[in-house]
Amino acid sequence: MDDHISELPNDILSYILTMLSIKDLLKTSVLSKRWCKLWGLRKHLYFDIYSVLGPEKELLEKGYLTDVTVDIVYSRTYRCVNLDLGPKEFIKRVDQFLNNFPGTAMDSFFVNFYFDCEQSNTIDRWICFAIARGVERINLLFRWWPYTANCTTQNKLYKLDFGLFTDTITNVSTLKHLRLEKCLVCHPTNCDLTPFKHLRSLSLEFVKVDEIFIESLLSNCQLLRELSLVHCEFNSSTPKIVSSSLYHLKVLGCCKVSSNNFTRFMRLILVDCFRLTSLECCGNDLSALNTNTRVLKRINFSIYFDEIENYLNAFALCATFPELEIMRLKIYTITMDLLQVATSLKIAQPLEHLKQLDCIIYLPFDTINEECDLMMIFNILQASPLLQKLSIMIAEPKFFEKQKDIRDVEIFSHDEIKVIEFGGCVGNWFEIEFVMNILKYAHKLEQIVVSPYFREDDSSNWMFDPLWFQSGRERMIEKLQGEEVVGREKLMFI
């Protein structure tokens, strides 16, 4: 039989090889004379516990993963990396692969495994391997989600050595994208950030980082387009974000940890980025944030109802962005009393150009059904005259046996909204009330999709309880198919 695959162009073969695990990739070297070196065409190297050590069943059998009960009361068991076996075998196999890898050019280099300072020499060697081959993207993910490490002591983090990124000839690496998890990043002692001259994106998550490094990076890297700081620990404060090149910014859960392990979450202070089009942060940051972002088109933030002032200030700031079109909002209702106050407050400044609103609502566990309503959403709608699409998701919904009478919200009216998606809807009075009023007072509405399914954040996993899917859906259909319901032909149940 003719070897038609071998006749394919190198670019196509390189793409095919990218799909293979390390074990399968090595097997291709014995297929023919051409294939002996052909596996070196692979330009994307990805090393995680599955591609290096095998499938989960095999990992458990060989002891690379262990089941550990960490919560005696609820008998919760977590699957953890065995630090006595896993890292050693992982390093051995990756080293074997890299020592025999014939490739001379590389686009991306990913490592996704639990490592700390104990493996510093190994990690440094791998970084040098990738830099020498002109790598453009490096991901070092040492938190290794969804598994963790079975250890009782707090190990020291791997510290990134900036000297590794310097090309001995040009003094500038080809690196364009860098993502780090669970490590330590300090400002270089020589203050030389030239090796990052071509950097386009930087993502730090669960990283201890010097705010001086971030501010210096922003001022020296004129090509940086994306910056993400998630659950980072800073020395004294969050950095001032000043950049003439930044387009996308994400700052969430950053903090300072004192000597007695007390964690203090810190707010954004300044965002001076005149090209910024996308911002993701906490709503409390928005309450006191100084900004210069006139072209912002998308914002993603959370509101925790601990202070009503934060809620109003967040929307007041959003109203100052003249080109804002898309808003993603998470509402955490810590106490229903504050939520009730918030629903009665009008948003003074209109969101004049907002066209899409995605909203996830987290109700407190001790919610009493008489206290719930969705008036807050009506208030946001009234402040957004050009809104065309609305998505509401009630996370972890529950049905209340004692129901309240449905009200006619006469103050609500909207002339532009066309599509509404309503998830986590299980037949409560406030859900039915919202749907009935939307049908009556949204004059250009084309369709409203109602479903008991719900999901959180950007997850592709939709969650539901079979009882909600049946009884909740049936309750909604029963309540909304009466003759008195205006526009019920626009309803779609999933």
**Residue 165 clears pLDDT 70, i.e. is over it:** yes
pLDDT digits (tens, 9 = 90+) for 419-455: 999 998 888 888 988 999 999 999 999 999 998 888 7
Residue 36 φ/ψ, nearest 5 degrees? -55, -40
Q: What is the pLDDT of residues 27-71, one digit of tens each?
A: 555 454 555 566 667 788 999 888 888 888 888 888 888 877 655
Contact 361, 392 (CB under 8 A): yes
Q: Where are the extended beta strands (E) located within 103-215?
A: 108-112, 137-141, 148-149, 158-159, 177-181, 183-185, 201-205, 208-209
Query: Are 304 and 291 in contact, with CB atoms under 8 Å apart?
Result: no
The answer to the question of residue 313 being in a domain is yes
pLDDT of residue 366: 60
442's tokens? 């949204």
pLDDT at 72 over 60: no
Q: What is the pLDDT of residue 153?
A: 47
In a domain, 425, yes or no: yes
| Distance in angstroms (rounded) separating the CA atoms of residues 53 and 73 | 33
Find where tokens 């707010």 sit. Answer: 267
78-96: average pLDDT: 85
Within-domain flag for 173? no
Q: What is the mean pLDDT of the chain?
A: 82
Q: Which residue, among 140, 194, 133, has the nearest Cα to 162 in the 3D structure?
A: 194
Give the number of domains in the chain. 2
Q: Is the pLDDT of residue 118 over 70?
A: yes
At 213, the pLDDT band (50, 70, 90 cuts) reads very high
Q: Is residue 289 in some structural domain? A: yes
Could you list the residue range(s) of the whole structural domain that residue 471 is in? 277-494
Per-residue pLDDT reduced to its tens digit, 128-141: 999 989 999 999 99
Interatomic CA distance for residues 191 and 322, integer angstroms: 38
Is residue 80 one of the residues assigned to a domain? no
Residues forming beta bridges with residue 229, ordered by sequence position: 204, 251
Residue 193 pLDDT: 84
**What is the reported pTM?**
0.85
407 belongs to a structural domain: yes
**What pLDDT, on the 0 to 100 scale, is given for residue 73?**
47
pLDDT tens-digit map of 321-360 = 999 999 999 888 765 565 666 666 778 889 999 999 999 9
Which of these ranges, 10-24, 372-386, 424-438, has the smallest mean pLDDT? 10-24
The string of DSSP codes covering 446-494 is -EEEE-S-B--TT-S--B--HHIIIIIHHHHHHHT-STTSTTGGGEEE-
- Asked whether residue 450 is domain-assigned, the answer is yes
Residue 443 lies in a domain: yes
List b or e across 378-400, with b for residues whose CB sees 16 or more CB atoms inside 10 angstroms: bbbbbbbeebbebbbbbbebebb
Query: Tell me, what's the pLDDT at 82?
Result: 80
Query: What are the Cα distances from residue 289, in Å, to 175, 241, 358?
Result: 32, 11, 22
Q: What is the pLDDT of residues 214-256, one digit of tens each?
A: 999 999 999 999 999 999 999 888 899 999 999 999 999 899 8
> Residue 448 is part of a domain; what is its CATH number?
3.80.10
pLDDT-based confidence at 151, cuts 50/70/90? low
pLDDT, position 171: 52
